[in-house]
Amino acid sequence: MKRHQLEQAALVALDGDGRVRAMIGGASYADSQFNRAVDARRQAGSAFKPFVFAAALDQGYSPNDTILDAPITIHIKGSKPWTPKNYTRNHLGQITLTTALSKSINTATIRLQEAVGRDNVRRVAQDFGFAHDLASGPSLGLGVSETTLLEMTGAYAGIRNGGTAVRPYGLVELRIKGDDKPLIGQAGGMGQRVISPKAASELIWMMKQVIEAGTGTRARLEGREAAGKTDTTSSYRDAWFVGFSQQYVAGVWID
């Protein structure tokens, strides 16, 4: 990758417990101390959608339950009606939740969000580590809220870990040689349970279908299972991919 491309890209790779294994935030720290992996806040776009499906599965929905993919308009008090569009502008009718996620269907995702409740979606996203302010309107499910690549990768690590939140960390301990008391200790790792193990297992399977037959087929790993979610935001400015195997969780953002 050329230098100017590195200035518009970022990468984070984590262990399952949140330990940072690799990070690229720019071409040269000497030239710029702005770390795009940690400091750049961007709209999450469709990379946010797994949190909608996580909330639904935790309420008892199954991957084979169906949801309608058809035009939808939501009336918002004090504002104009909102009508989300699918990327293809086409509709598939009644589809499974698995298809809705793997094909990244906007109208079906919003229908599901409204059925399970926006507050529940917000809670799941926040508990997984999506720490910044989340939108309160119906566009929440399409990822209009901003996050950093490190936060998003950490949130996906929580899904990969079976529904237990993960806080990324890069330091285990800092101490002066010969001193038993550390100056700084680890400030991350495993946290609280967010969704049930059953819901997490179902979501991981659904996210594998994203790579096997959905929008993320280019991320297939020969001979290795992987799961994840792709995105290009509505402005076509930001492109995300966040995914995981049994060993690592990785996120990539490109402007």
What gap in Å lies between CA 155 and CA 115, rounded to an integer?
23
pLDDT at 153: 96
Question: Helices 106-116 and 49-58 sit at what angle, rounded to 10 degrees?
Answer: 40
Q: How confident is the model over 94-133, as pLDDT tens digits? A: 999 999 999 999 999 999 999 999 999 999 999 999 877 8
What is the identity of the amino acid at 169?
Y
pLDDT at 28 over 80: no
Cα torsion for 106, 16, 251, 215, to the nearest 10°? -40
**Greatest Cα-to-Cα distance within the chain, rounded to the nearest angstrom:** 68
d(CA 10, CA 62): 34
Average pLDDT score over the chain: 88
* Helical axes 118-128 vs 149-160, angle rounded to 10°: 100
